[in-house]
Amino acid sequence: MIVSMQDKGEALLSKCSKGFKSLVRRKQVDSVHVRREGHQLARKLTALDLTAIGVGTTIGAGVYVLVGTVAREHTGPALTVSFLIAGLAAALSAFCYAELASRCPSAGSAYHYTYICIGESVAWLIGWSLILEYTIGGAAIARGISPNIALFLGGEGNLPAFLVRHTIPQLGVVVDPCAAILVLIVMFLLCAGIKESSLVQTIVTTVNVCAMLFIIVAGGYLACKTGWVGYELHGGFFPFGLNGMLAGSAIVFFSYIGFDAVTGAAEETKRPLRDLPLGIGMTLTLCCILYMLVSVVIVGLVPYYALNPDTPISSAFSANGMQWAAYIVTAGAVTALCASLMGSLLPQPRLLMAMARDGLLPAFFSDISTRTHVPVKSTVTTGMLAAVLAFFMDVSELSGMVSVGTLLAFTVVAISILILRYAPPEEVPLPSSLQQFIDSVRKQLDDDSQSMERKEFNDVDIVEQSPSQSDHGEASIQYPLIEKQFSEGNQDKQNPQRRRNIAVWNIALFCIGVLVLTSAASAEYLPSLVRFSLGTVGAAILLCSLVVLACLNQDEARHSFGHTGGFLCPFVPFLPAACILINAYLLMSLGVGTWIRVSIWLIMGALVYISYGWRHSSLTNAVYVPMAYLDHIYRASSSHQV
């Protein structure tokens, strides 16, 4: 009876262990070894195309509104500094994205990187969060276009009747046909092909940038004529102090969200190792410069307290006798929204395709058109869903959920950089169909290893025959070089694994410290003493783990991880650590209501994963082999096929 209970307990423990391992299983980096039958996207994009996609997605109409609200309530004339600090904070994530994009240039962006470096369950949650971000983000952008089009035409009365918003009396729902039609137009454009859609994106983005250049040049000219009155105030450059300027940076940080759309098109880039980092860097640099120049002009043209919070740029020009400039500003806002809509709908089909390839979603989403070389089925599905949401729902109150997906992605990408540098995957999954080649190569390499060990043993056999072998000290004196070789060999085998274990534990402790510190900083409802105590504990854990990571040597296996020769993130571990800390603080500051809604979505995602993704994952029957065996196995399988 006791033996039977022990067997059941061991079986249950084995099942639990197997289930946990399946949650953290990691997939292989897509490389020359991975060949997909019928799943190839067309590589047609250059660095310029990627920059147009990134700039178009990043510069939305938010900048046309944010400059007024943030300047009036938080920064005053220091708005430019807030944009600079926010740009530097966004650059931390951009550096991390640039390395992973060049090492792992495949569709899926943050989902793909997380799957490779952290594990399947976390990758699923990131992918599920990004689905929410792209869907709600696209619908919200589309709902914002129709009012700007009406404003450009002189009012809603000038819109065609079938495009005007109207209310369904029985339901009390305001429907927006114009928003739905715009989403469908973008959907059909994306189905036409990546080069065609990127060309349109480039044209629309160029118009948007030209509108911003007009604001900068014309506004600067007016400000020079009026004497830059916005900077001649009694409150000085920082009327709200340093805290106000930093609070403004946290708000305008979200105007930089969108550069990660560049990595969504990684599999369609001609030269990903060069073009992806270049596209990310050019996107962020250009956006930061434009934001700063616009803010310099606007807060100098009109005193910050006189800015209109809804139409700050148009009202600033109108106050200086240039009412006609409102048409150019509105045209810039419309084109900015159209470019953002295209940038929001572009990555989602590729994300669904990547998740379907891995078996976490039905294979329906992984189909690629043989004519246009784009995932048409995924594009149509996401486009129709976004069009329905844009038609029936005012999703502006759900816009905070968009930020959660992006900030979660930024955070796990930075964590992935730490894992890549200090504890990269030692094993890779291979399909069970290669089992015979795996066994053959493993046996051959094990035999070679044993032969090498016997040879080394025979070479130093004189040590065993020496009469002084019983005394370790005497042996080391008589044969110092042999003794040193043995000791160094044992250390080389033990130290790397020990260093990896220390690194993994300290990465985990660092994340815990960040979570405790940011939770204490944002929990204003707690007593000050409790917040201070929790913050102190979190900061201590954070700093200690970061110091240990800084003292550890980075793993040598990082050099052969993925595609080598691309961009390398500098200042590791400090730069990724700062990225994690900033993004975690912004996540904690989003509010309880937002987190409740996001939690409901994540719980739904967990149920979908348990009921479908976990069971159909392509890694379910995979065989994990050491990285050193990989080339030998593929060589053996290739020679067998020949």
473-487 tens-digit pLDDT: 444 444 444 344 444
Length of the chain in residues, anyone? 642
Helix or strand (DSSP H, E) at 536: helix 528-551
Helix or strand (DSSP H, E) at 175: strand 173-175
Query: What pLDDT does residue 209 have?
Result: 94
C-alpha distances in angstroms, 592 versus 400, 520, 525? 11, 14, 12
The residues facing 168 across adjacent strands are 173
| 93 in Cβ contact with 281 (< 8 Å) | no
| 91 in Cβ contact with 256 (< 8 Å) | no
Query: What pLDDT does residue 462 have?
Result: 45
Could you tell me where the beta strands, DSSP code E, fall in 352-467?
A: 427-430
* Domains within the chain, CATH numbers bracketed: 43-77+104-270+285-402 (1.20.1740.10)
**Residue 452: band (very low, low, confident or very high) from pLDDT cuts 50, 70, 90:** low
The gap between the terminal CA atoms of the chain, to the nearest Å, is 57
Euclidean distance between CA atoms 273 and 268, whole angstroms: 12
| 182 in Cβ contact with 147 (< 8 Å) | no
Out of 99-103, 202-206, 594-598, least confident range: 594-598
Nearest CA to 153 among 330, 353, 338, 355? 330
Nearest CA to 127 among 296, 430, 315, 352? 352
Query: What pLDDT does residue 2 have?
Result: 55
Please give the backbone phi and psi of residue 626, each rounded to the nearest 5 degrees, phi first. Answer: -60, 150
| 329 in Cβ contact with 210 (< 8 Å) | no
Out of 47-61, 389-403, 508-522, 548-562, least confident range: 389-403
Please give the backbone phi and psi of residue 429, each rounded to the nearest 5 degrees, phi first. Answer: -85, 140
If phi > 0 it is left, if psi is from -120 to 50 it is alpha, else beta; for residue 35 that is beta
Structure tokens at 95: 């550096």
Query: What pLDDT does residue 12 have?
Result: 56
Euclidean distance between CA atoms 51 and 415, whole angstroms: 25
Euclidean distance between CA atoms 130 and 134, whole angstroms: 6
**Residue 258: band (very low, low, confident or very high) from pLDDT cuts 50, 70, 90:** confident
pTM greater than 0.85 (yes/no): yes
Please give the backbone phi and psi of residue 190, each rounded to the nearest 5 degrees, phi first. Answer: -65, -30
**Residue 8: band (very low, low, confident or very high) from pLDDT cuts 50, 70, 90:** low
Is 232 exposed, middle or buried, given 0-12, 13-18 or 19+ CB atoms closer than 10 A?
Answer: exposed
Euclidean distance between CA atoms 421 and 417, whole angstroms: 6
Euclidean distance between CA atoms 156 and 636, whole angstroms: 69
Query: What pLDDT does residue 172 have?
Result: 73
Q: What is the mean pLDDT of residues 111-134?
A: 93
Structure tokens at 394: 């005012």
Q: What is the mean pLDDT of residues 172-183?
A: 88
Query: What pLDDT does residue 66 have?
Result: 85
Please give the backbone phi and psi of residue 427, each rounded to the nearest 5 degrees, phi first. Answer: -125, 155
| 279 in Cβ contact with 54 (< 8 Å) | yes
| 294 in Cβ contact with 87 (< 8 Å) | no
Q: At residue 581, does pLDDT exceed 80?
A: yes
Widest CA span of the chain, in angstroms?
106
Q: Is the dihedral of CA 178, 180, 183, 188 positive or negative?
A: negative
Euclidean distance between CA atoms 404 and 27, whole angstroms: 25
Query: What pLDDT does residue 476 have?
Result: 41
